[in-house]
Amino acid sequence: MPDLDPTTAWTDTTTPLALAGKRLHFVGIGGCGMSGLARMAAKQGATCTGTDMSESDTVATLRESGIAVSLDQSGAALPGADELDMLVISAAIKPTHPEVVEATRRGADVVKYAQLLGRLMVGRVGVAVAGTHGKSTTTSILSHILIQTGLDPSFIVGAHCEQIGGGVRVSEKQGPDEVLVAEACEYDRSFHNFYPTHAAVLNVEADHLDLYSSIDEIVEAFKVFAKRVPGNGSLLIHHESSHRLEICSGLDAKIETVGFMPQADWRVGVRMGNVRLHHKDKPVCEWVNPMPGDHFAYNAAVAAITARRLGAPWDGIAKAITSFTGLDRRMQTLGQRSIPGGSVTVIDDYGHHPTEVDTTLRALSQHHDPKRLICVFQPHQHSRTRHLMEQFATSFTEADIVIVPEIYFVRDSEQERHAVTSGHLVERLRRQGVTAMHLHPFEAIVEQLELITRPGDLVVTMGAGDVWKIGRAYLGEDF
């Protein structure tokens, strides 16, 4: 399979990529990012088709928009031999996939999602939001600000945000004034394919240790990403990051920092739910934090600063952030269940890294002040669970009870699958003094919740897999 890199002719960094009249086929089109990219390509005049492994709301929406989707991934769904211009795959698709093999045999370009998205930044004002945590939230807030202030952005977000129309939008503008906002993920070093004019690095921590051998490799990957910002562009980076100086060394772009410390170029202050943003000690913007937690205030500040760089006025920025209603699976309130004597609140969150778990649980505990906080945490990937076991063991201090289903198996090898279990995590949590239990299947967890919940409890389902089904089922919906 061709591995397109910045030296190849296809990734010309001076000429905008023309998709009108091209035939593109997407493998794994049901994913958030892939579906958004397909819709973006279609709106730019390409004829798009795709395949996925199963039916979903996303697949149904794609079909309604005129994009044909098949569940047959044998290669039979590919367009005719003379019609296919490009096969687009996610980072999880292997070179041995039948559709990749068939497209290669036909001589079509085979490109990864990030390669096509990055190539679409050429000739536009590209904005890339990178970091271990908070990419989807920050990108969604930024997109919302730009819409509300009339700047007409194009964007692609890896999560669903109803307020901005889902996760993708194509601007009516054409040419160099068009703003294209996207998440920049470090997995598979995908963000090395981007060509941003403006970039943000929210934070840098150890993750994806199935691909990176150490935090040093991760920092180096972020450094390479930062170097892709041109001299006439800008980089915004977390002031308190211990890796900031290493990432920023040798850059030509304008560099500014954002954080909670007085020394930051942009300082975030939070008090009683109100957020005030200072630039060089001068207050420039203030808003009501629409979601709990200092981490949300920080993400919103990054979005605000970036929006200002793109021309949004401070008053419009403040109004837009205050009105932001959130996105799916990010501290999302699913509802309340009535029980004798009161009710139980149910919240769902995508957090799957120890820092995300700790930060989210603390924010929810402080905001809701529940009688008890019960967390149903589904570990995501065996390799992540094994590598970060000790960090996970200390990230649930705010929870009164932790219920752990089976680890969500994705991308790992069978050898990795047998190296660690949910039972190992439960054992470590108990050693930390946390009341924890391992239960399987999901139905058993719902039954346990029905037995143990009391009025005033807060139930949080958490993880990047399908753990959200437990919260929905506890509220009376079918699996």
Mean pLDDT value of segment 239-251 = 94
pLDDT tens readout for residues 370-399: 999 999 999 999 998 998 999 999 999 999
pLDDT tens readout for residues 258-297: 999 999 999 999 998 899 999 998 999 999 999 988 999 9
Q: What is the pLDDT of residue 11?
A: 55
Please confirm whether the linkage preceding 441 is cis (ω < 30° from 0): yes
| pLDDT beyond 90 at 413 | no
| Phi then psi dihedrals of residue 457, to 5 deg | -75, 155
- Structural domain boundaries in the chain: 14-113, 123-322, 332-474
The mean pLDDT value of the chain amounts to 91
Q: Of the candidates 93, 156, 116, which has an alpha carbon nearest to the alpha carbon of residue 24?
A: 116
Would you give the DSSP letter of residue 408?
Answer: B
- CATH fold for the domain made of 123-322: UDP-N-acetylmuramoyl-L-alanine:D-glutamate ligase (3.40.1190)
Residue 410: both structure tokens together: 């994705």
Residue type, 273: G
Q: What is the pLDDT of residue 1?
A: 38
The residue that leads in pLDDT, 175 or 348, is 348
| pLDDT beyond 60 at 142 | yes
Q: What is the pLDDT of residue 33?
A: 83
Residue type, 298: Y
Mean pLDDT value of segment 109-137 = 93
Same fold, 14-113 and 332-474: no
Q: Give how far the C-alpha of residue 240 lies from the chain's centroid of Cα atoms, to the nearest Å.
A: 22
Would you give the DSSP letter of residue 254?
Answer: E
pLDDT > 70 in the chain, percent: 97
The pTM score is 0.87
| pLDDT beyond 60 at 426 | yes
The CATH superfamily of 14-113 is: NAD(P)-binding Rossmann-like Domain (3.40.50.720)
pLDDT tens readout for residues 329-385: 888 999 999 999 999 999 999 999 999 999 999 999 988 899 999 999 999 999 989
| Phi then psi dihedrals of residue 143, to 5 deg | -60, -40
How many other CB atoms are there within 10 angstroms of residue 114's CB atom?
24
Q: What is the pLDDT of residue 393?
A: 93
Q: What is the pLDDT of residue 4?
A: 40
Taking the CA atoms of 190, 192, 193 and 199 in sequence, report the sign of the dihedral they define.
positive
How many other CB atoms are there within 10 angstroms of residue 294's CB atom?
16
CA separation, residue 130 to residues 186, 236, 299, 473 (Å): 7, 10, 11, 34
The answer to whether domain 332-474 has CATH 3.90.190.20 is: yes
The residue written with tokens 């920080």 in the block is 298
Alpha helix (H) residue ranges in 289-400: 294-309, 314-322, 354-368, 382-387, 389-393
Q: Give how far the C-alpha of residue 74 lies from the chain's centroid of Cα atoms, to the nearest Å.
A: 29
